Amino acid sequence: MTDVLGRVRSAEAAAYLVYTTDVLQAGDEVEGIEIEGADAHPNQYPIALLQDAQSPEAGDEFVDFVLGSDAAQQVLHDAGFGEPR
């Protein structure tokens, strides 16, 4: 999406569909608009520990942090992501 957003920033394109997180990161350089009904079909980003992880304990801790920490929830929210489920 970075290349697409770059085209909008440089006025090579008038509009493109990009992720909300990209619009937030671009700040005042672009204007985002909401698409009616889009919130009914959010993107999903699974989180899981790999079966052959080199550090399964660290992986478990990270998953627990992302799913259960107020600090992680705030980071995700600030970046434009919804609450993990």
Q: What's the number of domains the chain is made of?
A: 2
Is residue 76 included in any domain, yes or no? yes
What confidence score (pLDDT) does residue 4 get? 81
**pTM above the 0.75 mark?**
no
| Together in a domain, 51 and 85 | yes
Is residue 49 included in any domain, yes or no? yes
Mean pLDDT in order along the chain per 10 residues (85 residues): 77 84 85 88 88 96 93 90 79
Range of the domain at 54: 45-85
| Together in a domain, 31 and 49 | no
**b/e sequence 45-84, b meaning 16+ C-beta within 10 Å:** eeeeeeeeeeeeeeeeeeeeeeeeeeeebeebeeeebeee
What confidence score (pLDDT) does residue 71 get? 94
What confidence score (pLDDT) does residue 1 get? 55
What confidence score (pLDDT) does residue 66 get? 93
Radius of gyration (Cα) for the chain, nearest Å? 16
What confidence score (pLDDT) does residue 70 get? 93
What confidence score (pLDDT) does residue 84 get? 77
Taking residue 85's Cβ as centre, other Cβ atoms within 10 Å add up to 6
